[in-house]
């Protein structure tokens, strides 16, 4: 009987192997990743499995965008009492779904920790990562990520208790500093303190909730993170512990943190789709198109606006298709269902929200900001 | 099938005619199946490996270990590790933190576990029930919950650094650091250290002599008291002769941190205490079960010899119980070591957290996880080696 069991295992193993091969054989005509064929049998098969189709096609097939997000930063990615995700980053997941599928609600959210996020992206567990992720060279290179247009220009700051004796980072010699582990923030912290010759004790936590507990309990003197995140945390600081007024965010900005969506390297079709979903929100604000007034613009006299909204050109009668693999009217879906950049900003992080952030760098180039959409033509 | 092989040969026929054909020969089938199985396993692993390497290469992710020499860029709580040191140094700091939790945790767990295990067999109702409640509560909680509870509900509730709690200048505890006074040696105390070693050797000699004396004559050996006395006498003499170089290094609050003494970070304390009380509940059950597994006749025999309750436990019951308990306890040591990876939940930089930080900083995950697995495998094998040696010693005692 024992050899029967062995045989059964053997058959199962074989079955698993051939099963994979069948999957590969199903897509024989799929384009190879970059035409590279080194004649190596197994590698060729595997390339087909991995890169047989763009994520764009698989998303359009499945009808849902799997989006890696944060679930603990109010204003950017947060789960409310009803279990719904909301926030600035979450709205960009919705914008991508609106652009690709025409339905902003066709998103499956996967909450990720900072340390998990790139593995989740590399392994294909998520289609796109929109989780306060800083665009850096080593992430672009080593992590196999490709960053689309920046959605939020941020900088790292330090939050301390207002009643303490800390007025700047120079006062923080020997301090304990809370930081999220596996982030650029953690690296910048070491760089800044070492550059100033200051000693410090890093308390690096895996998730924001434990970090917040430790900060409230007084385990650390400072909390360093992107300033927008600090503003979010400060806005939600419990009244029982002194409320937002008991905390100060120091004026110093110790790093550049451009945050934006990231996709896997080597999938240009999907990258373009994500990128232009983001650009569409900025372009809409530049044109002055909002979710409220978009209907007025479909009869605009401006050919640029008509082209952007996928309306036929008044003279030639043709609809422009820039070949992004998206519907010509994808921008209409994005703007009507999610809104333009300004609307998204005001809704989640603007002056009327608990975060109360000013537009500053995140304003249009015409207003002195850094948002500069490439022309849609 | 064996019926065919074992069938008695008809008289006059050569025996080989009873051999079945190859495809039905059980010995051949066994070999073929094992070879086929081995080939299948190797094929599966090489398929998975080439799949991994190809996909990583396609995405432009490195598949070598060169990242280990790059500067780590981050710093680690409670160590002298600096951002400019390499990733491999960071991983070694993480490994030493894991070993620290494992070794100190195993010692404390053993002490607590034996106390609770013996207590759960006490004839005192209150002691017995308290032990039972402890075991049944802790044993039925996931270790992660125990660690998070220990951190958020116990350690974080300790006094803040601004108002530390202390005990006679000998111990200070805050929710950042817990520190106790430590012996300290002044500079140039080589003579005293030499005396310390001499005292240890002397104590050992006294111990051996008294043990042999006891074995030869059957008279009480008093080896603990006598060797302790010898040790103390030499140490005190040397201490006064060499100018009293031994002091006490008392912890104190300096700025925003505790300094001096033996100190551990609050996050380390949370992990250590949580794992100790959690694992001790299992050790207690093993100790209780092993004691109960010793035959009742042994107790009755020792009663007949008029041994006291302590003597009965020390000389008759426990030596036999431990022979039963050692393999099971070894398992719990492994569990404690591996559960230390849950420290990631409370920000203690043991090996797993350091590895995850390294991965989060743009270093390749597959290689890092592979190293992580090998490190835990190595630790487990070392622990297994030690417990096997102990096990063999205990087994030799039985005759």
Give the integer Cα–Cα distance in Å for A253 and A256: 8
Q: Strand B262-265 relative to strand B257-259: parallel, antiparallel, unpaired?
A: unpaired
Q: Mind telling me how many Å the CA of A374 is from chain B's nearest CA?
A: 27
Please name the residues between 129 and 158 in chain B that touch chain A, using a CB distance below 8 Å.
148, 151-152, 156-157
Token pair of B303, please?
A: 């009663």
pLDDT for position A203:
93
Indicate yes or no: CB of A183 within 8 angstroms of CB of B360.
yes
Residues 322-351 of B with CB under 8 A from A: 344-347, 349
Tell me what the mean pLDDT of segment A183-204 comes to. Answer: 92
- For residue B323, what pLDDT is reported? 86
Shortest CA gap B153–chain A (Å): 10
pLDDT of residue B11: 56
Chain B interface includes A268 (CB < 8 A): no
- Residue B86 phi/psi, 5° resolution? -80, 165
DSSP letters of A296-328? Answer: HHTT-S-HHHHHHTTPPPTTT-PPP--SSSS-T
DSSP state of B150: I
Segment A334-353, tens digit of pLDDT: 999 999 999 999 999 999 99
* Dist. CA B360–CA A121, nearest whole Å: 12
Give the three-state DSSP class for B43. helix
Chain B residues closer than 8 Å to A211 by CB = 347
Q: Quote the pTM value.
A: 0.78
Neighbours of B86 (CB within 10 A): 14
Q: Which residue of A has its CA nearest to B158?
A: A217
pLDDT digits (tens, 9 = 90+) for B248-261: 888 888 888 888 88
* In chain A, residues 33-62 whose CB comes closer than 8 Å to chain B: 33, 42-43, 46-47, 49-51
Over range B170-191, report the average pLDDT: 82
Contact in structure between B86 and B71 (CB atoms under 8 Å): yes
Asked if B256 and A174 count as a contact pair (C-beta separation under 8 A), the reply is yes
pLDDT tens, position by position, B269-319: 999 999 999 999 999 999 999 999 999 899 899 999 998 888 888 888 888
Check residue A361 and report its DSSP letter. Answer: G
Question: Cβ of A6 and B256 within 8 Å?
Answer: no
A18 Cα to chain B: minimum distance (Å): 11
Distance, in Å, from the CA atom of A21 to the CA atom of A49, rounded to the nearest integer, reads 9
Q: Give the pLDDT of residue B381.
A: 94
Beta-carbon neighbour count of residue B238 at 10 Å? 20
Mean pLDDT of chain A: 85
pLDDT(B367) > 50: yes
Q: B256, A190: Cβ pair inside 8 Å?
A: no
Summarize pLDDT for A68-87 with one digit per residue, the tens.
999 988 899 999 888 899 99
Q: What is the rounded CA–CA span in Å between residue B123 and residue B285?
A: 17
Q: How many residues does chain B have?
A: 399
In chain B, positions 80-119, which contact chain A (CB-CB < 8 Å)? 82-84
> Using CA atoms, how far apart are residues A318 and A331, in angstroms rounded to an integer?
17
DSSP A222-279: EEEEEHHHHHHHHHT--GGGT-GGGEEE-S----EEEE--EEETT-HHHHHHHHHHHH
Given an 8 Å threshold on Cβ–Cβ distance, is B175 in contact with A219? yes
d(CA A274, CA A263): 8
Given this model, what pLDDT does residue A147 score? 96
Tell which B residues from 271 to 290 touch A, by Cβ distance under 8 Å.
Answer: none
Distances (CA, A) of B225 to B210, B215, B220: 11, 17, 12
The SS3 call for residue A183 is: coil
B162 contacts in chain A (CB < 8 Å):
218
| Residue A168 backbone dihedrals phi, psi, to 5 degrees | -155, 175
Cα distance between the two ends of chain B:
43
Given this model, what pLDDT does residue A367 score? 94
Per-residue three-class SS string for B277-288: HHHHHHHHHHHH
| Burial class for A67, CB neighbours closer than 10 Å (0-12, 13-18, 19+) | buried
Testing the interface with B: which of A171, A201, A213 to mutate, by most B Cβ within 10 A?
A201
CA of A353: how far to CAs of A151, A254, A306, in Å?
A: 18, 25, 33
Query: Does A11 contact chain B (CB < 8 Å)?
Result: no
Please give the distance of CA B106 from its chain centroid, rounded to a whole number. Answer: 4
Judged by CB atoms within 8 Å, which residues 51-80 of B form the interface with A?
A: 51, 54-56, 58-62, 67, 73-78
Average pLDDT over residues A97-122: 93
Question: What residues of chain A, 158 to 197, have a C-beta less than 8 Å from chain B?
Answer: 173-176, 181-183, 186-187, 189-191, 194
Q: Mean per-residue pLDDT for B17-42?
A: 88
Least trusted range by pLDDT, from A260-274, B15-29, B271-285? B15-29
Question: Mean pLDDT throughout A85-95?
Answer: 96
Contact A46 B51 (CB under 8 A): yes
Q: Would you call B75 and A218 a contact, using CB atoms and an 8 Å cutoff? A: no
pLDDT at A85: 95
B43 touches chain A (CB under 8 A): yes
- How close does chain B come to A299, measured CA to CA in Å? 44
Flag whether residue A119 sits within 8 Å of chain B, measured between CB atoms. yes
Q: Binning pLDDT at 50, 70 and 90, where does residue B136 land?
A: very high
Q: How many CB atoms lie within 10 A of CB A124?
A: 13
A272: distance to nearest CA of chain B, Å? 17
pLDDT tier at A232, thresholds 50, 70, 90: confident
Nearest CA in chain B to A164: B162
Q: Cβ separation of A204 and B176 shorter than 8 Å?
A: no
Provide mean pLDDT across the span A142-169: 92
Going across the sheet that includes A107-111, the strands are A107-111, A65-69, A128-129, A262-264, A145-147
């Amino acid at each position: 009987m024992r050899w029967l069991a062995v045989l059964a295992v053997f058959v199962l193993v074989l079955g698993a192997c051939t099963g994979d091969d069948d999957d590969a054989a199903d897509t024989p005509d799929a384009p190879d990743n970059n035409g590279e064929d080194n004649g190596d049998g197994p590698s060729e098969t595997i390339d087909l499995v991995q890169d047989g189709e763009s994520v764009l096609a698989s998303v359009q097939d499945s009808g849902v965008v799997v989006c890696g997000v944060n679930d603990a930063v109010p204003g950017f990615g947060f789960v409310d009492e009803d279990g719904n995700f909301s926030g600035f980053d979450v709205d960009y997941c919705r914008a991508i779904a609106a652009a690709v599928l025409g339905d902003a609600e066709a998103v499956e959210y996967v909450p990720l920790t900072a340390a998990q996020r790139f593995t989740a992206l590399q392994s294909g567990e998520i289609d796109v990562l929109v989780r306060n992720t800083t665009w850096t060279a080593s992430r672009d290179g080593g992590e196999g990520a490709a960053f689309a247009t920046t959605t939020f220009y941020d900088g790292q700051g330090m939050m301390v208790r207002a009643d303490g004796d800390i007025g700047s980072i120079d006062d923080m010699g020997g301090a304990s500093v809370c930081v999220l582990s596996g982030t650029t923030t953690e690296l910048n912290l070491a760089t800044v303190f070492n550059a100033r010759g200051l000693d410090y004790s890093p308390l690096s936590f895996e998730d924001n909730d434990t970090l917040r507990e430790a900060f409230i309990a007084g385990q650390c003197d400072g909390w360093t993170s992107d300033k927008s995140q600090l503003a979010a945390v400060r806005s939600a600081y419990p009244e029982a512990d002194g409320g937002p007024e008991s905390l100060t965010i120091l004026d110093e900005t110790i790093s550049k943190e451009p945050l934006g969506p990231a996709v896997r390297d080597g999938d240009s079709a999907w990258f373009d789709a994500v990128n232009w979903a983001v650009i569409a929100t900025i372009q809409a604000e530049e044109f002055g198109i909002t979710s409220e007034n978009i209907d007025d613009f479909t009869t605009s006299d401006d050919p640029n606006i008509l082209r952007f909204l996928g309306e036929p050109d008044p003279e030639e009668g043709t609809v422009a298709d820039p070949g992004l693999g998206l519907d010509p009217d994808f921008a209409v879906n994005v703007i009507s269902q999610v809104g333009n950049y300004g609307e998204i900003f005001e809704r989640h992080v603007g002056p009327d929200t608990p975060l109360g952030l000013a537009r500053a760098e995140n304003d249009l180039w015409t207003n002195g900001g850094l948002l500069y959409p490439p022309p849609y033509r | 099938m064996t019926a065919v092989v074992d069938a008695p040969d008809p008289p006059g026929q050569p025996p080989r005619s009873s051999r079945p054909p190859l495809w039905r020969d059980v010995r051949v089938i066994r070999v073929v199946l094992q070879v086929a199985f081995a080939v299948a396993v190797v094929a599966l692993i090489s398929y998975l490996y080439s799949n991994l390497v190809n996909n990583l290469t396609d995405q432009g992710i490195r598949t070598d270990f060169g990242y280990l020499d790059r500067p780590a860029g981050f710093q680690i709580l409670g160590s002298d590790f600096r951002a400019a040191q390499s990733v491999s140094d960071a991983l070694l700091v993480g490994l030493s933190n894991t070993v620290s939790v494992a070794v100190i945790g195993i010692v404390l767990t053993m002490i607590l576990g034996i106390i609770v295990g013996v207590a759960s067999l006490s004839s005192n109702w209150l002691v017995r029930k308290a032990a039972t409640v402890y075991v049944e509560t802790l044993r039925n909680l996931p270790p992660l919950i125990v660690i998070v509870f220990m951190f958020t509900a116990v350690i974080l509730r300790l006094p803040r650094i601004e108002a530390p709690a202390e005990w006679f200048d000998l111990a200070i505890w805050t929710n950042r650091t817990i520190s106790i006074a430590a012996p300290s040696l002044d500079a140039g105390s080589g003579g005293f250290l030499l005396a310390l070693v001499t005292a240890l050797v002397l104590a050992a000699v006294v111990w051996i002599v008294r043990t042999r004396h006891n074995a030869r004559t059957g008279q009480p050996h008093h080896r603990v008291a006598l060797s302790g006395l010898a040790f103390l006498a030499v140490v005190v003499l040397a201490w006064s002769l060499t100018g009293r170089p031994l002091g006490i290094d008392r912890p104190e609050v300096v700025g925003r941190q505790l300094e001096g003494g033996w100190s551990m970070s609050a996050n380390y304390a949370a992990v250590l205490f949580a794992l100790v009380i959690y694992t001790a509940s299992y050790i207690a059950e093993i100790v209780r079960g092993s004691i109960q597994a010793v035959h009742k006749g042994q107790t009755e025999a020792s009663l007949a010899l008029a041994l006291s309750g302590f003597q009965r436990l020390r000389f008759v019951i426990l030596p036999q119980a431990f022979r039963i308990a050692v393999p099971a306890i070894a398992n719990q040591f492994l569990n404690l070591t591996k559960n230390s990876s849950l420290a990631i939940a409370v920000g203690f930089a043991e090996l797993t957290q350091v590895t995850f930080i390294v991965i989060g900083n743009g270093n390749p995950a597959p290689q890092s996880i592979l190293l992580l697995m090998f490190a835990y495998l190595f630790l487990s094998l070392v622990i297994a080696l030690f417990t096997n040696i102990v096990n063999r010693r205990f087994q030799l005692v039985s005759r």
